[in-house]
Structure 1
Amino acid sequence: MHYKQKHIYIGVDLHKNHHTAVIIDCWHEKLGEIKFENKPSAFPALLKEVKKHTKKGITPIYGLEDVGGYGRSLAVFLIENNQIVKEVNSALSFAERKSYPTIKKSDSWDAYTVAYVLLNKLDILPDANPHDLYWAIGQLVTRRNGLVKALTALKNQLHIQLSYHYPSYKKFFSEIDGKTALAFFQKYPAPHTLKGISINKLTAFLLEASNNSVSKRKAKEILSLITADGDTKREYQEHRDFLVKSLVRDIEFKKQEIEHVEEELILLMDKLDYKLDTMPGIDLVTASALVAEIGDIRRFPNPDKLARFAGIAPVNFSSGGKGKDKKSKQGNRTLHGLFYFLAVQQVQISKGSKNLETLYFYEYYQRKLKEGDSDSSYIPYVFLCILTIR
């Protein structure tokens, strides 16, 4: 008996409020189907339905596309109940749906295609491993990314408002969201609020806001620039002043929240025996993002498996004995982007470096350029090899 005949295959189409599961045998014949709510109290119904179609000596295997989002609760439940759960790449099930002459779309059909891929690709699909630690790290990384994106939008809005109030504001401070800059714009949102403020008084304010790192010269420079800009006060000025103060308060809040999230990330990352931040170019944020996307590194037996998962392994395109390796457009694109960004950083920081790892990386990069290979698909892969060796 072929080993695939010893299983039945359950593909699950995942949604926010409900899931649809389709059960097939090794001959691709549909055995059953069940729709159930996305909540732990409804999950036993799936096990009960699967049990109806599980004969003696047959083991069920479940395939889920998303074990970190809508499908995470189900994956955790199944694993806790000693079920075999595989993670099905959504690109594979999408390609399967597109391979039919007539393309159709429904929850039932989507679940069937997941089960079909699960059966056909059983040997290469990774085990689902929705570990709480990696999931929590991933949630914190997502939260931080959202805060950073919101902070960038707020800073852009503040730039616009200040350009109306202080035409020369960019010369005031090196960073618009620095501690001293935010304190200044919160206290003095427009030039008219500085009326009657002497150089000494402004200097005292700046010294306190900057922990004595700003001199009297800066106060003179700011007042001089404001005088040179001319009068910018307009009708309803007080409302626009409020807008500047509101943006400053929001920016300060976002920066504080980012710090809090990073503190939580440090606590969780310390629970892992990873040394990613010992590599040049990798800080806490990047290391956390890598861990969040990769999860438990032990589910990848070698660098090649991880490279294919991340979509950074070159793919050979050839016909008639001619062809070349090209970069892949499949795999985890977030992870692909992280490796590519890190690879570019390694090339930059390795110039003149005496570190053997970065030196090896730079020499490889230069060798590929001399060979006339303008395709950069190799670079992230080599970085991955160095990373896994560590």
Structure 2
Amino acid sequence: MYYLGIDIGKNNHEAGLIREDGSHVGKSLRFANAREGFQQLLLFLEQSLPEREAFCIGMEATGHYWLALYSFLREQGFALHVINPIQSDSLRNFHIRKQKTDAVDCFLVAEVIRFGSFSETHLADEDIMALRNLARFRESLKDSCADYKRQVVTVLDQVFPEYAALFSNVFGESSKAFLKTYGTPEQVVDVNTKSLAALLRKTSRGRHGTDKARELKSLAARSVGLTLCSDAFAFQIRILIEQIEFTEKQIDEIDKKIARQLRKFSSVILTVPGVGPATGVVILGEIGDISRFSNPKKLVAFAGIDPTSFQSGNYVGQHNRLSKKGSPYLRRAVWMSALIAVRCDPVFKAFYEKKRGEGKAHGTALGAVSRKLLYTIYAVLKANKPYEVRRQGIE
């Protein structure tokens, strides 16, 4: 039996072949992440393997760079094992003289496959993969939008620090329209009250008008904000608000596409407490096929919500933290769902309060709720039955 290990890179991959006893078969092969390079790998196998000798291939799931080679080799009919880089790192750390070169790493991957003690990364089917990509893209746009908002607040803190008290939501429609048009106190002071009132009345659908316009002008006249570079600050605010509006429209468009994609699944995920459409698609997309997790503990570990522990001799650490080794997207979605579940579901609310009563901090208690929520998600998806409230579920 022979084992081919492939170290994945962005532009180039490295392949190394070993025998059953772990000895290397010649030198490793460096090949491009392109069709010509993939053909070079096939020729390398043909020349290096004895005729009719059985072999298997292993590669690391490094970012998204492994997908093209994986698809190519699957089309060629090869059996493949895709492993988490953490597993090959464990073997790499075993060596006293640590080396980090592609040539060494590809043989380490082959060793992991030879030992056989590894868990595989599974490529989801096309519908799940599409859902996952859309959900991740949505999260990235939300993060970008939040960053734009932070930049707007930073500028306002400098030029109009009193502004936050004027609107209940700085990024509501009326406020955004105002900031795009009159970004600094100097511009507000110079504007006609009637024109400002008309803008506010239109964007607020009649909720604001002359009184709000007068309040804005009065506060702007007394503002202690910077007066230097006011035109530059006003320009910056306008561009940022336009970017926020554009990004929000993109998110709405993605939401519609996600809703269409979600209809392909008859999933019961939305019956789980705290799980809404936005977090539900992330959870479904990241989990994929629930059957690849033999028990809920493995799902908890995949999300990185399993607690770490430290013990040395008679010492046992008392302040354990989340491992955070797993899907950050799933961990974030479950955490957000747990925040809602403790407010809207009697079982999870009681469980949270029980942990708090034991002296646990808010974050620690919420981590326990997140794990319990993942156990619930596992059971619901495994049985494909809607969630039912069971008060005896409180532990």
| Bin of the TM-score, shorter chain as denominator length | 0.7 to 0.9
Q: Paired residue for 2:393?
A: none
Q: The residue matched to 2:221 in structure 1 has which SS?
A: helix
CA contact (8 A) 1:8 1:54 kept: no
User: What amino acid sits opposite 1:259 in the alignment?
Assistant: D
Secondary structure class of the residue paired with 1:177: coil
Q: How does 1:235-246 map to 2 (within 5 A)?
A: 236-246=229-239
How many Å apart are 1:22 and its aligned residue? 1.5
1:23 aligns to what SS in structure 2? strand
- Find the aligned partners of 1:294 and 1:87 in 2 and give their Cα distance: 17
Per-residue deviation, 1:107: 0.2
| TM superposition shift of 1:180 | 1.3
Which residues of structure 1 form unaligned runs of 5+?
1-6, 354-358
Greater mean alpha carbon deviation, residues 278-287 or residues 93-102: 278-287
Q: Are 2:254 and 1:264 equivalent residues in the alignment?
A: no
Answer whether contact 2:5 2:15 (CA < 8 A) is retained.
Answer: yes
Deviation at 1:330, TM superposition (A): 6.2
* Deviations 1:86-128 (CA, angstroms, capped at 9, x unpaired): 2312111112111111111110111111221222244x42253
CA distance, structure 2, for counterparts of residue 65 and residue 103 of structure 1: 21
Any idea what SS the aligned residue of 2:282 has? helix
Match of 1:290 in 2: 283
| Structure 2 equivalent of residue 3 of structure 1 | none
- 1:64 and 2:57 equivalent? no
Residue 15 of structure 1: how far off its partner (Å): 0.8
Distance 2:354 2:154 in 1: 47
Distance in 1 (CA, whole Å) between partners of 2:153 and 2:114 is 55
- Alignment counterpart, residue 103 of structure 2, candidates 104, 108, 119: 108
8 Å Cα contact 2:269/2:284 also seen in 1: no
Is residue 380 from structure 1 mapped to residue 373 from structure 2 by the alignment?
no
1:74-93 superposed matches below 5 A:
74-93=69-88
1:251 maps to 244
Q: Residues of 2 paired with 1:167 and 1:243: CA distance?
A: 16
Relative to structure 1, the CA distance from residue 250 to residue 318 in structure 2 (aligned partners, 3 Å threshold; closer, same or farther) is: closer
Cα offset, 1:179, TM superposition: 1.5
Q: CA deviation at 1:389?
A: 1.5
206-215 vs 340-349, which moves further:
340-349
How many Å apart are 1:235 and its aligned residue? 5.6
Secondary structure (helix, strand or coil) at the match of 2:13 reads strand
Partner of 1:163 in structure 2?
157
The 5 Å alignment of 1:132-281 reads 132-195=126-189, 197-229=191-223, 234=227, 236-281=229-274
Identity across matched positions, percent: 25
Cα deviation for residue 161 of structure 1 reads 2.8
Q: 8 Å contact 1:185–1:248 — kept in the other structure?
A: yes
Shift of residue 372, structure 1, vs aligned partner: 7.0
Matched, 1:309 2:305: no
Say which SS state the counterpart of residue 255 (structure 2) adopts.
helix
| Alpha-carbon distance in 2 for matches of 1:170, 1:238 | 20
Q: Which amino acid aligns with 1:252?
A: E
Q: Distance in 1 between matches of 2:159 and 2:360?
A: 52
Alpha-carbon distance in structure 2 between the residues aligned to 1:56 and 1:277: 51
Amino acid paired to 2:107: Y
Q: Letter of the aligned partner of 1:381 in structure 2?
A: R
Deviation of residue 236 (structure 1)?
A: 4.8
Distance in 1 (alpha carbons) for counterparts of 2:321 and 2:50: 43
- Equivalent pair of 2:303/2:325 in contact (CA under 8 Å): yes
Which residue identity is paired with 2:52? Answer: K
User: Residue 6 of structure 2 aligns with which residue?
Assistant: 12
Alpha-carbon distance in structure 2 between the residues aligned to 1:379 and 1:173: 35
Deviation at 1:206, TM superposition (A): 1.1
**Cα drift, residue 250 of structure 1:** 1.9
SS of residue paired to 1:30:
coil
Paired with 1:143 and 1:126, the residues of 2 have a C-alpha distance of 25
Structure 1 residue matching 2:169: 3-state secondary structure? coil
C-alpha contact 1:118 1:125 (8 A) present in aligned 2: no
Amino acid at match of 2:98: I
Q: In 1, distance between residues paired with 2:109 and 2:133? A: 26
Q: So what's the TM-score if we normalise by structure 2?
A: 0.80
**Closer, same or farther: CA 130–187 of 1 in aligned 2, 3 Å:** same
Partner of 1:49: 44
Q: Which runs of 5+ in 2 are unaligned?
A: 381-395
Would you say the 8 A contact 2:7–2:14 is kept in 1? yes
Contact 1:316 1:324 in 2 (8 A): yes
What letter corresponds to residue 303 of structure 1 in structure 2? P
Residue 43 of structure 1: SS of its match in structure 2? helix
- Could you state the TM-score of these two structures normalised by the residue count of structure 1? 0.81
Deviates more, 1:174-183 or 1:276-285: 276-285
Number of equivalent positions: 373
SS of 1:331's partner is coil
Tell me whether 1:29 sits opposite 2:19 in the alignment.
no
2:20 partner letter: C
Q: Which amino acid aligns with 2:147?
A: A
For 2:222, what is the secondary structure of its paired residue? helix
- 1:34 partner letter: L
For residue 362 of structure 1, report the CA deviation from its aligned partner: 4.2
